[in-house]
Chain A
Amino acid sequence: RDFNERCAQCSEVNWGLTDGGRFYCRSCHNVTERTREVVNTDFVSNTRIQTISKDLRKQEKNDGGCEWYVCEGFQLVLKKQAEALEALGVSPQMKDEILCNFWRLYLQKSKQAYCNRPAGETVKALSVCDSSTDVDSEPERPSLLHLLSLSESEGDLQTDCSFASSTSKISESTSVCSGSVDGSMYLMKNQKEKLRMTMPMTLSFCYMALLWLREPMTLSDLLRFVVEGHIPYLNVFQHFPEKMKLCGLDLKIFCVESWPVYEEVYNKMLELAAFLDLPRFPDITDSCFLHPDMLCMKYLMEANLPDELHNWTCRVVKKIRIGEADFLTLVPGNKSTRKVKYDVLAVAVIVVVLKLLFLLDDHYEWLLSDFAEERNKNNKEGGPYFEFKKWYKVIKCSLDVEQKKLDEERAKYLWRCEKPLFYSAQKKSKVLKRRQIVVNLQNQFGKLSGSVRPAEKPNPSSFQLSWSEENTDGSCFHGHSLKGILQEKCGLLTAMNPDYWLCTVKLCTEKLCGHLAHYREVEFPQSYHFVLRLFSFLLRIQPSYIHDEVCAIEHKLFNKKLCKKPKYNIGLRK
């Protein structure tokens, strides 16, 4: 059906399939040598990827494996991820429509399928593991070492030779091997223009689809779910069917040994969106979860801050016009606008509001807190006034505990799984032996660990910290009032704090050094760092990312004042 070549005899495009799986022209009954390969079905919908191959193909190889292409593998990965997301509550539309359409578009654009001359065609020379001793005679055939070293430049693929146990041991006569048909070629060609698919990129696909549907899941949520194991990523090849054998260079493609980084996944997503020539994404309006007003509310709750702060965040959002659909909506390919990281943006707004109200210079916020405490003594009606000191104590305690737990979890990650991976058949016995030893040791020392072995994953939840107002110990600050730190002026409540310090006077050029500012903990007040640390924990990103965003917001907020000679910005810092 999707085979678009013209028939050699009658130049028609009207193909059917013989029993032997070969194409024949319905008009003139010319049977071609081309065979149709049906891939194991991945998506529920009718779309199937067809790849065209030369005649020497066998459906089943000796070891019960079939021939498969790398993109089929990725397709399977995406399918698993989409299913997991659906299980987490994402709309089924994502799996059934959006993601698979994006994927199809990608295959088309990268010429791996759905087009006239699929890239797989030139694969034949390298497909099967034929051990040839005169490798060097073929100039095109890349050596193992060359391929392994090539991926050094790719940041995403792990470049370790663990599976081969050491490059020096690989002799030149080892054949370039991979279980997939085009595994070796996949790594070799410089496919920068075609945007080669990688494991981290699967997450970019997912996020892109989520964004298109405006699902209530931020990128930091997504990545956290991945690390917590709710979304298949690490060792996802375990879910490949038995027939799809992985070996050799497939391992470099499909096995990950590092957790994806926010920035990388995000940037890749932008690249992808541009590559696919996608139009403007559906608008992010103020009823969307991703809108700063919404996200601010979420993070305020999670950070155990008073609900009243929400008014302030909305004010800031409005003032610097970051709540407008044009600002928030993604327009792929448009290089002039700075792209929005919704979660980081929301969190940064909160940080700015805290600075507005509390100054956070390691001095004023404590004075203000004492002041509020005084006022609280006389405060009989209504809720208690918010005291920064109390909040700090509660949060610091929880944060330290959670951070410690997280650090221990990180030390306990298990990267390998039961399904063993061999680089080549020769390595198989060694790998299996090692695996056996590892399992034995795990059992032996596991028994000595005592009773503590909770291997369950934490329940997936959008909130990592939760605070209940029913707690009588007063550890929930949601209902607290800001009146303790506000004053009346002309009938309006304004902040008592008249000052503000900028994180940086001048923004860096992001294109040159990748950041708007360079955060160094020692140069900033500890309260500021604490607040960054809190949100950095919640989002699982580095404090410097949030700092960048804070700088950007500040510059928008104080734009006018910055253009003029700054008169009253006390305590300017770089």
Chain B
Amino acid sequence: SSREHKLNFKKSKEVCLSYIQDAMLQKQWKRAAEFLTFYVESLEKDFSTEYMGPSEMIWRIGTEILCHHSHSSMKEFNSFIEQMKTLGVKRYLKVCLEHAFHLLCNGLIDEAYQNLSLAESWRFGEQTVLQDKEMKLIRAYRGLLDYYSWSKQKNILLEHGREGFEDLSVEQEMHSCFRKAAVNLKEIIKIPGVWDLFVKCYVDLLEFYGDHNEARQVLNEYAYNSKFPANPNAHVYLYQFLKRHGEPKKSLMSALKILHDIVPSHELMIDFNTMLQKSKKRKKRRLGLEVIFAALDYAGWKENVKAWNCLARQVKQIVISEKHLDWIKQEWNSRKDWWPAFHFSRYLAKQNWQENESLSYEKALVAGILLGRDCKYFKYISHQGCKAQMKRFRILKKFVNKHNLVYLRIS
């Protein structure tokens, strides 16, 4: 047992590391730097059996400290990172990539671009093959920066165009940026993953140069290829694209359907419901009801007037037509236990009336139909509204009174 307490190199470095970690957690950067100076000699010792070796530790810890320490500068950071690059060839590209990110975060776009270009030209035997993923990322980010340049050139051109200039060199530059960007962006989005920004930029490029087919194909791939992880944004992008190009409602709705499945609380659900309500097909109108009810299940929508308006409209329409009350019944069935407390409490009635009269109007209609004219919410709001001599509230009261027995049929 005397051996366990023997203080040796490895153990004292472990202890040192724990001091660094403590200091970092408490944001004591000076202290962390102090202990790091004692830790760095671990580089001179073999830790190849450890999961994470000292060179990686030092890279990560050093980066954190230099990011946060008040006296550190970009110049210091750069010189530190260059040293880190020499320390671990297996990590070279990763370090380059993160360095580029750091430069971007500090607004040094040109430097970031240079770094990425340099990294792209790196070759190191079999390591190049092993670090293929990082290389792809490096190319992708460089592509992104090319897009950014392209975008700048484009804006300049448009400016000049407005002012009546023609600028051939800018135009050529712009096209060359496009080519560079397109190649790399196209590459990266082939790999299953989440590439929202890259996709958007690539589509933007394609649309500008009129290649709508390619753009549509890219977006379809991104949204529908099962190898890619489920990504609501993919569907949003596709929807927006289709809308921009005046596609028929049918395709718009099918794009939004999946979005509804993945994210029922998405803000586009209002658009979706609006389209569905107007549809001639019964199934679609049914879906519309489902969509709007589902959206209002979420707390973020509680005070969304538009959403309540959609629901109110649809409910009203159903009640008046006296057809499909069973739809409402089905939707209400799973909600009747908790929506009253969630949306239609007396407290909320007071609050809604005070803060947002339109909101309370829409909600009152829904409450009146679903819970009857004697429910707390409706009673309070209609009373307030009539007291304030607002015409529409009087109409509302009449309407609900007329259809008072509906709630019995749907409960």
Contacts and interface: CB of A to CB of B under 8 A. Distances in A.
Interface of A: 155, 158, 160-162, 164-166, 257-259, 261-264, 407-408, 410-416, 431, 434-435, 437-438, 440-442, 444-450, 452-453, 514, 542, 544
B6 interface: yes
Given A410-B15, A441-B43, A448-B65, 14 more contacts: A158-B9, A259-B6, A262-B2, A263-B2, A408-B19, A412-B38, A413-B7, A415-B45, A416-B44, A438-B44, A441-B40, A441-B80, A448-B29, A542-B2
Interface residues of B, number: 42
Contacts of B12: 410-411, 413, 415
Interface string B8-50: 1100100110110000000001110111111011011110100
A223 to B, nearest CB: 11
B152 interface: no
B401 interface: no
A413 B38 contact: yes
25 contacts: A158-B8, A162-B44, A258-B7, A258-B8, A259-B7, A261-B3, A263-B2, A410-B15, A411-B16, A434-B43, A437-B43, A438-B41, A441-B62, A441-B80, A442-B41, A445-B37, A446-B34, A447-B71, A448-B69, A449-B33, A449-B34, A452-B34, A514-B1, A542-B1, A544-B1
A508 B10 CA distance: 33
Nearest to A449: B34
Task: Give the secondary structure class of B's interface.
Answer: helix
Contacts of B8: 158, 257-259
9 A-B pairs with the lowest CB-CB distances in the bound complex, closest first: A258-B8, A449-B34, A162-B46, A448-B33, A257-B9, A162-B45, A450-B30, A411-B16, A441-B40
Contacts of A544: 1
A359 to B, nearest CB: 29
Interface in B110-142: none
Contacts of A264: 2
A495 B16 CA distance: 47
Contacts of A452: 34
Contact of B46 (A155, A161, A411, A448): A161
A160 B33 CA distance: 28
Interface string B297-338: 000000000000000000000000000000000000000000
Given A166-B46, A166-B48, A416-B44, A407 B37 contact: no
Nearest to B36: A445
A155 B1 CA distance: 13
B294 interface: no
A160 B71 contact: no
A423 B45 CA distance: 12
B83 interface: yes
B278 to A, nearest CB: 65
B76 interface: yes
Contacts of B31: 449
Contacts of A158: 8-9
B87 interface: yes
B354 interface: no
B58 interface: yes
B65 A445 contact: yes
B72 interface: yes
A171 B107 CA distance: 49
B89 to A, nearest CB: 12
A437 B65 CA distance: 18
Contacts of B72: 448
A451 to B, nearest CB: 9
Contacts of A435: 44
Contacts of B40: 438, 441-442, 445
A101 B29 CA distance: 54
